[in-house]
Amino acid sequence: MSQVRYTVTMDDPNSHLFHVKMEVRGAPGPSTDFVLPAWTPGSYKLRDFAKNVQDFSAGRQTWRKVDKSRWRVSAGGDVTVEYDVWAFELSVQTSHLDADHAFINGASVFMYVDGLKDAPLTVDLRIPKGWKIATGLDRRGRLLSAPNYDLLVDCPIEAGTFTLRTFKVRGVPHHLAIHGEGNYDEDRMVGDVRKIVETEIQILRHVPYDHYTFLLHNTTERGGGLEHLNSTALQYPPGSYKPREKYENFLELVAHEFFHLWNVKRIHPDMLGPFDYEREVYTTLLWVMEGFTSYYDTLVPCRAKLWTPEKYFKKMADRIQKFEDKPGRKRQSLSESSFDTWIKLYQPNENSQNCQMSYYEKGELVGMCLDLEIRHRTANARSLDDVMRLLYGEYGKQGKGFPEGEFKKTCERVAGNLDRFFADLVDGTVEVPWNKYLGYAGAKLEREPKRPEDGEPARKAKAWIGIGTSKAGGVLTVANVVEGSPAWKAGLSAKDEVIALDGAKLSADDFEKRLDDCDPGDKLRVTLFRSGYLRDLEVTLGAKENVTWVIRKAKSPTPAQKRIYEGWLWSKWETKKKS
Ligand SMILES: [Zn+2]
């Protein structure tokens, strides 16, 4: 039987180089192809990890590269190769080695043998003295093992001097390996993570792992998370656990990545596992995989009582407003955006706002609408939770992906025909009738005049120019121009460096304030550099309604609305007492 053993050494962590020795037994031959993935599952972008490989050798055997990620050794049987990997990118999709720690994201370090991805593997991780290891892999000391390549690269490895916290839920250990420090109360944070774990298990009703590991990097390098089968990698800025609003973002990140252990790691269309690591894989369902996970990442902490239904409504109202503000929502549907993720979402440009929306953002909102629609049709007897449990029971738990069409069919088994819902909100770009869905739960989206800040006059509308900006290097640079906006009509362009307004010097930080001093309809002379040449443009400012979007509860709900509200948010409908 074939077997693969990796020995990973990191003798000089400051070089940021992992040395990998890969010993293969029983390769069928006559030649053996060694391949390093071009992407890592969960992050739909080609990263061509082979670009970080150097000093490849195959002992006495000859070898040659046959494509960008593939090395062909002219021998079969027992074959040993060695190579170095430069690991100097601390993100959840890449690997990193320095004097403080090692973070191995398997797809960027471990090659596989073409045709032998199902062979069992071991990793001998030779770490510096005093370091320890955290990973979702089974391990004995520094010896890690996986039954196949897919599992190996689905378990990132952290080695270093991290803080380890462990708690049990339903008898199963959950580890939190924390690299670096942050401005949190550690006990409280661990307690909150635990509540999220408990609540999500309550929703899916099954624990499919023997142990789960959160790898948390406190770092300013990057942010975000990446989901895995029985672990996740999370990155968060060390100073951003306070104030409360920022801490809530961290809790959403935890809830998001943990929910993925079901949704996308086990519940997924068949294109998303086992994977083709060499090229893009296409699905129209990332709005379910990512959008629904985002839906639950905000709903779950509410159900876990980490925030109130009022806070939940505030978050959703903000997200609806943000979504409605994006012109691209009228151009790109959820299914299109999912399919094109490889060339669009992960590679935004100056035009993205005008022609795209994010399947995370709209997927989350459509998830909410679908949940409320199901609850409405079934008098709250069924919900989106049932859809997730059905797909999990019939596919995820069995280790199978489902055909693309199966998702809609499963929703319809729970709710009845959903042709219109999918045509409008998933494959189409029609306006979302928010209040139709929110109304099922006795809630309503409203636009309220923004309260003026101290000393400010109350204004119905504010001057609007319609650009996104960046302030890098103290220069106000146009990042994007909203289609049809005053800036667009005046000929402003992305990359323009704005240096003066009405002849007076503009410092980057003053832009919002200077704009705020104007009224809708004012003419503004904008002086800018474009490709190194000075020019003036005149912009006639437009008007933007000065409103905040809020979701409020009805004063007197029907029993049906009340039932849906309570089933949805796991909270009693409470009427505010008059004070
Ligand atoms: Zn996600």
What is the CA angle 182-316-380, rounded to 5? Answer: 120
Predicted confidence at residue 221, as pLDDT, reads 87
Altogether, the residues listed in the chain come to a count of 579
Distance 290 CA to ligand 1 centre (A): 5
Q: Please give the mean pLDDT across all residues of the chain.
A: 96
Distance 167 CA to ligand 1 centre (A): 24
Residue 579's pLDDT band (cuts 50, 70, 90): low
Distance 291 CA to ligand 1 centre (A): 8
Distance 28 CA to ligand 1 centre (A): 38
447 — phi, psi (to 5°)? -105, 120
Distance 114 CA to ligand 1 centre (A): 29
Distance 131 CA to ligand 1 centre (A): 30
Distance 197 CA to ligand 1 centre (A): 16
Q: What is the arithmetic mean of pLDDT over 278-297?
A: 98
pLDDT at 578 over 60: no
Distance 292 CA to ligand 1 centre (A): 9
Distance 226 CA to ligand 1 centre (A): 7
Summarised one tens digit per residue, pLDDT across range 175-184 is 999 999 999 9
User: In the chain, pLDDT over 70 holds for what percent of residues?
Assistant: 99
Summarised one tens digit per residue, pLDDT across range 43-95 is 999 999 999 999 999 999 999 999 999 999 999 999 999 999 999 999 999 99
pLDDT at 24 over 80: yes
Tell me if 238 sits within 8 A of 182, measured CB to CB: yes
Strands 32-35 and 70-73: antiparallel
Distance 296 CA to ligand 1 centre (A): 11
**CA–CA distance, 342 with 412 (Å, rounded to integer):** 29
Whether residue 243 has a cis bond before it, omega within 30° of 0: yes
pLDDT higher for 400 or 575? 400
Distance 257 CA to ligand 1 centre (A): 6
Q: How far is CA 479 from CA 116, 216, 467, 512, 540, in A?
A: 47, 32, 7, 15, 20
Our measurement of the distance from residue 117's CA atom to the centroid of its chain's CA atoms, rounded to an integer in Å, reads: 27
Q: What is the arithmetic mean of pLDDT over 530-552?
A: 96
Predicted confidence at residue 423, as pLDDT, reads 98
**CA–CA distance, 369 with 343 (Å, rounded to integer):** 28
**CA–CA distance, 381 with 187 (Å, rounded to integer):** 37
Distance 431 CA to ligand 1 centre (A): 25
Distance 243 CA to ligand 1 centre (A): 24
- Least Cα distance to 49 among 104, 118, 114 occurs for 104
- Least Cα distance to 146 among 6, 281, 15 occurs for 6
pLDDT at 577 over 70: no
Q: Residue 518: what residue type?
A: C
Distance 401 CA to ligand 1 centre (A): 18
Q: Which helix (H) or strand (E) holds 255?
A: helix 244-259
Distance 492 CA to ligand 1 centre (A): 35
Strand order in the sheet with 132-135: 96-97, 101-104, 157-160, 132-135
pLDDT at 525 over 60: yes
Q: Token pair 């021998």 is at which residue?
A: 75
pLDDT higher for 579 or 167? 167
Distance 370 CA to ligand 1 centre (A): 19
Distance 10 CA to ligand 1 centre (A): 31
Distance 553 CA to ligand 1 centre (A): 30
**CA–CA distance, 250 with 35 (Å, rounded to integer):** 36
pLDDT at 528 over 60: yes
Q: What is the arithmetic mean of pLDDT over 244-264?
A: 98
Q: How far is CA 43 from CA 68, 106, 379, in A?
A: 20, 14, 38
pLDDT at 15 over 80: yes
Predicted confidence at residue 59, as pLDDT, reads 96
Distance 351 CA to ligand 1 centre (A): 24
Q: What is the dihedral of CA 566, 571, 572, 574, to 10 degrees?
A: -110
**Can you spell out the DSSP letters for 191-217?**
HHHHHHHHHHHHHH-----S-EEEEEE
